[in-house]
Structure 1
Amino acid sequence: MIPGFDFLSPSPLGYFATLVKDDDGLPLLEAATAIAQDEYPDLDVQEVLGDVDQLLARLRRRCADDEHPLQRLRTLNQFFFRDLGFGGNVNNYYDPDNSHINVLLRTRRGIPITLAVIWLELAQGLGLRASGVGFPGHFMVKVNLPNGQVVIDPFSGQSLSREDLSERLEPYKRRNGLVDDFDVPVGLYLQGAAPRDILARILRNLKEIHRTQEDWLRLIAVQDRLLILLPDAWMEYRDRGLAWAEMGDAQLAVNDLEVYIEQTEDALDRDAMLRRVRELRREPNA
């Protein structure tokens, strides 16, 4: 080591913050992989990226330089879903490891959004105009081709027609009153998702799993990342504060809940959060 210099690596959170600082050039695969450092502290993110690069190199050898985009897409899907065997974890859908890219690369089983992250890296590496789609309840991917658009379910590898997509949307539309005069075209649900939105969806999937399991410590770790990614998402302060309360740390809980209360004057649960803060401070009800 050079005297006078301390080459300390950034903390996992600091590393993640650097990756997601700017939207321009945000490295989706690297940032998504880094999420797993909470569960796997010794994870070498660069090694994971190298593994995906090796898959891309194998894939490129199967494609001619002048190959039509549609044929490149077919080659990609054959390689990803059939030859490598990537697909949905139908037996244990809510396993947190389905959201960890390093585990997904080993098991070849995950959930739609993490499967999509790897698929997108390969598709874009082939020069395809591919993007993620934040479809309600089930993340999709799409490719814009010279003769139209292809939408694919990364969980199964199935190419979906407009009729398929409409059928999948029906339960969501009914639940949200988006019928008759309030109906909107399917195309509005197929907008490309930005990398920041994809990362937020991965983290919120993990958040819901940890909340269901009442695993507050892991939920707080997810909230820390969400607040780095989305610093103005005030409800994430609320949810972290409530998790701190479950952990028995009243001061950290109050700190987060007060941020939420200060920033959300019109929130429907603001009075409930005010009462929760009073309880945490052991103050009498006003």
Structure 2
Amino acid sequence: MSALQQFEKDEQFIRLVRREDDVDLVVAALEIARDAQPDLDFEPTLQKIRTAVGELTRPIAMAGDDRSELELLIQFLTSDLNLHGHPESFDSPNSSYLNHVMESGRGIPISLSVIYMAIANELGIPLAGVAAPSHFLTSLQTDGGVVYVDPFRGGEIMNEVECVDWLHALTELPRAEIHPTLKPTSERKIIVRMLNNLKTHFGSTDQWRSVWRVQRRLALLSPGSYREKRDLAIVTLRAGRPGEAIDLLQSCLAVCIPEERQLLQQYLRDARKESPLLN
């Protein structure tokens, strides 16, 4: 079975791998959540989004201007759906899984943003994702210029100057480096960022089987990336799959930089030692 065939049920993920357009970002995010919840039913989450759209359709239509539409949207999402960020959200992978975010109201910036965008776009409000450094945001082109919305901070609205100043204070990056990151990003890059968040969380807690499930997806989304292939090889070994790791490590050794060769050779020796034990 090929690597891609292992995800044959994940139609939106496969579309991302093939770099197709019009990917359903919510479903793609739920496909990731299903890795940790094999019996996950997408329908309750999708129904909650449809219900929100239905309740907002008339008020949005009567709003009068794009700024008022945005404010009505944010009020509903923060009050009726109780969507908000919380410092503890960063400590749990559930904050990345849209079904849990919709149930609890708590999420991290990117998962909350995906929900904001899904509902907004169904209402004709072209809210876009913004892969800002350290903190994912959304943006909207209004008659008065581009505004930035932070779902994690209760839907706070900022103009570009305010957004850059806030990110500068948060990250200490030069303002000149922040400006280029404030452009709308793609569905594929959003999913990659969600996966990297999970990779970081699971790796920091030594949950290597969970890291392995995430890393398989990252390697497929970036097939030309040596780093992702190398990480998959190492994680596969740590996840207790030495037989698979041998092939992956040998492939990496054929193209690795000299500084990594000794480390990869040690991993390969370890994999060969462990492999007979699992036969």
TM (normalized to structure 1)? 0.83
**Equivalences, count:** 265
- Offset, 1:14: 1.5
Change in CA separation of 1:170 and 1:277 when aligned onto 2, cut-off 3 Å: farther
1:235 to 217, 227, 230: 227
Determine the structure 2 residue equivalent to 1:273. 264
Determine the structure 1 residue equivalent to 2:14. 18
Query: Given the alignment of the two structures, is residue 80 of structure 1 paired with residue 72 of structure 2, yes or no?
Result: no
User: How many Å separate the matches in 2 of 1:255 and 1:172?
Assistant: 40
User: How many Å separate the matches in 2 of 1:35 and 1:110?
Assistant: 15
Determine the structure 2 residue equivalent to 1:4. none
Determine the structure 2 residue equivalent to 1:252. 244
- Offset, 1:222: 0.8
Is the contact between residue 242 and residue 253 of structure 1 (CA under 8 Å) also seen in structure 2? yes
User: How many Å separate the matches in 2 of 1:66 and 1:158?
Assistant: 19
- Offset, 1:248: 3.6
User: How many Å separate the matches in 2 of 1:262 and 1:210?
Assistant: 28
Determine the structure 2 residue equivalent to 1:111. 108
Segments of 4+ moved more than 6 angstroms: none
Change in CA separation of 1:241 and 1:24 when aligned onto 2, cut-off 3 Å: same
- Offset, 1:29: 1.0
- Offset, 1:114: 0.3
**C-alpha distance after superposition, 1:31-65 (max 9, x if no partner):** 01111111111112244222211111111132226
- Offset, 1:277: 2.3
Unpaired stretches in structure 2, ≥5 consecutive residues: 274-279
1:135 to 129, 132, 136: 132
The amino acid across from 2:135 in the alignment is H
**C-alpha distance after superposition, 1:165-192 (max 9, x if no partner):** 2242256455xxxx5xxx6264312011
Determine the structure 2 residue equivalent to 1:95. 92
Is the contact between residue 12 and residue 34 of structure 1 (CA under 8 Å) also seen in structure 2? no
The 5-angstrom pairing of residues 166-181 of structure 1 reads 166-170=165-169, 172=171, 174=173, 179=174
Q: CA RMSD in A?
A: 2.4
Helix, strand or coil for the counterpart of 2:243?
helix
Query: Given the alignment of the two structures, is residue 218 of structure 1 paired with residue 210 of structure 2, yes or no?
Result: yes
TM (normalized to structure 2)? 0.85
Determine the structure 2 residue equivalent to 1:60. 57
Change in CA separation of 1:225 and 1:195 when aligned onto 2, cut-off 3 Å: same
The amino acid across from 1:124 in the alignment is N
Deviates more, 1:50-59 or 1:133-142: 50-59
User: How many Å separate the matches in 1 of 2:177 and 2:214?
Assistant: 34
Bigger share in helix: 2
Change in CA separation of 1:11 and 1:39 when aligned onto 2, cut-off 3 Å: farther
Deviates more, 1:115-124 or 1:59-68: 59-68
The amino acid across from 2:19 in the alignment is D
Helix, strand or coil for the counterpart of 2:146?
strand
